[in-house]
């Protein structure tokens, strides 16, 4: 499919008003997206676990403008209160998606949104936030013009990508792959697809405990970090490596080879941060407690042979991944040894989930 396939045919029937609501999950990448081309096209393919507990719930009420105008009209409530500083991001998102949703300037939108996790937790809310919003706008288009379920899912992911790259992996469940990759037929730079690999049951109920090492604002945004991959001395090798790691994951996921899984996932996390440390300007997002956690986790794994590993996103927080079969042991270890390294002792227990859900439509 091409970008043009997502352009709507001309509309005839505009509802006066209505309301739609979606709850969309976050995700954690196993093979990381880091580096992009124009129009939110990723420099390399990535794959992620969809997370269940870290979600954004968004409702959009829409009403026909009394007088047509050439601007976007919206108001925004975040956790029940007006939130001016979110508005520029939404304005940019509307500008990017308008060619594909040409009804947007005909309506006034009242957007109400909230997260299941604290905004100041340092957890990226852009994936769940942008996918929930994309789904709401697309549901409004669906009321104007019918579309098939498969097309709806693809277009939702396509629109979410224009808000935040990783958001395109937050529409469907379990394992989602985004970016053109030879090993998956139908994979695309334009949207995420549910991983068609055979997946061993050990990965079905995987857990992710997110250790909140630093809850403040990141010093360097992901968008700035992605751009530093242009002219990065190791960029081409890194982009190639993402393909190789996806190749490696295919049999690992099918056979449930946890040793090999942990190796790929941890190597990806450290490579992501190595790219940050070797870009110009260089920066470090890990903190002393991030490294303490990693070292303690490795020592525990060596000593107990428990299949528990870590991954990182673009921040200091650590995602601790483990299968359901070692849940009690892992949580005990986290509470005894790792929570002391979290800001105010805060952490979030999450697990691989089923994807976004519509909860309201009128």
For ligand DP6, the binding residues (CB under 6 A) are 29, 32-34, 40, 46, 124, 126, 164-166, 222-223, 226, 272, 313-314
DSSP 144-202: HS---HHHHHHHHHHHHHHH-GGGGGSSB-SEEEES--TTSTT--SSSEEE--S---GG
Residue 282, class by beta-carbon neighbours within 10 Å (0-12 exposed, 13-18 middle, 19+ buried)? exposed
Smaller CB separation from ligand DP6, 34 or 333: 34
Task: Please state the closest distance from residue 166 (CB atom) to ligand DP6, in A.
Answer: 3
Smaller CB separation from ligand DP6, 169 or 341: 169
Task: Please state the closest distance from residue 47 (CB atom) to ligand DP6, in A.
Answer: 9
Closest by CA position to 352, among listed 37, 54, 98, 126: 54
Instruction: Give, as one character, the DSSP assignment of residue 8.
Output: P
Query: CB nearest ligand DP6: which residue?
Result: 165
Smaller CB separation from ligand DP6, 140 or 312: 312
Smaller CB separation from ligand DP6, 126 or 128: 126
Task: Please state the closest distance from residue 117 (CB atom) to ligand DP6, in A.
Answer: 15
Smaller CB separation from ligand DP6, 34 or 103: 34
Task: Please state the closest distance from residue 204 (CB atom) to ligand DP6, in A.
Answer: 21
How many beta carbons lie within 10 A of that of residue 342, not counting itself?
Answer: 21
Give residue 307's Cα distance to chain centre: 24
Task: Please state the closest distance from residue 314 (CB atom) to ligand DP6, in A.
Answer: 4
Rounded to an integer, what distance in angstroms lies between the CA atom of residue 62 and that of residue 239? 42
Question: For residues 290, 295, 297 and 300, what is the CA-based torsion angle, rounded to 10 degrees?
Answer: -160
């Amino acid at each position: 499919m091409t970008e043009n396939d997502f352009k709507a045919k001309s509309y005839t029937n505009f509802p006066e008003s209505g309301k739609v609501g979606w709850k969309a999950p976050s995700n954690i990448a196993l093979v990381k997206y880091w580096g992009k081309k124009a129009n939110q096209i990723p420099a390399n393919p990535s794959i992620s676990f969809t997370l269940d507990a870290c979600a954004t719930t968004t409702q959009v009420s829409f009403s026909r403008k009394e007088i047509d105008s050439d601007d976007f009209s919206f108001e925004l409530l975040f956790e029940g209160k007006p939130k001016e500083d979110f508005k520029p991001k939404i304005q940019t998102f509307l500008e990017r998606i308008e060619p594909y949703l040409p009804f947007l300037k005909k309506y006034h939108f009242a957007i109400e949104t909230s997260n299941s996790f604290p905004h100041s937790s340092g957890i990226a809310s852009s994936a769940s936030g942008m996918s929930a919003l994309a789904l709401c706008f697309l549901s409004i288009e669906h009321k104007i013009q019918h579309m098939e379920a498969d097309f709806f899912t693809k277009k939702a992911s396509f629109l979410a990508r224009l808000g935040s790259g990783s958001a395109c992996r937050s529409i469907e469940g379990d394992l989602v792959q985004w970016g053109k990759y030879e090993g998956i037929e139908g994979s695309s730079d334009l949207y995420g697809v549910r991983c068609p690999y055979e997946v061993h049951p050990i990965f079905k109920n995987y857990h992710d405990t997110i250790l909140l090492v630093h809850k403040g604002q990141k010093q360097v945004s992901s968008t700035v970090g992605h751009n530093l991959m242009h002219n990065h001395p190791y960029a081409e090798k890194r982009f190639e490596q993402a393909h190789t790691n996806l190749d490696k994951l295919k049999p690992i996921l099918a056979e449930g080879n946890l040793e090999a899984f942990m190796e790929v996932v941890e190597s990806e996390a450290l490579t992501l941060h190595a790219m940050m440390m070797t870009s110009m300007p260089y920066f470090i997002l890990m903190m002393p407690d991030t490294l303490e956690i990693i070292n303690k986790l490795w020592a525990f794994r060596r000593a107990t042979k428990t299949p528990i590993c870590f991954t990182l996103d673009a921040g200091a927080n650590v995602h601790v991944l483990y299968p359901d079969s070692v849940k009690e042991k892992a949580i005990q270890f986290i509470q005894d040894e790792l929570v002391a390294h979290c800001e105010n002792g805060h952490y979030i227990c999450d697990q691989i989930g089923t994807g976004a859900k519509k909860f309201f439509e009128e």
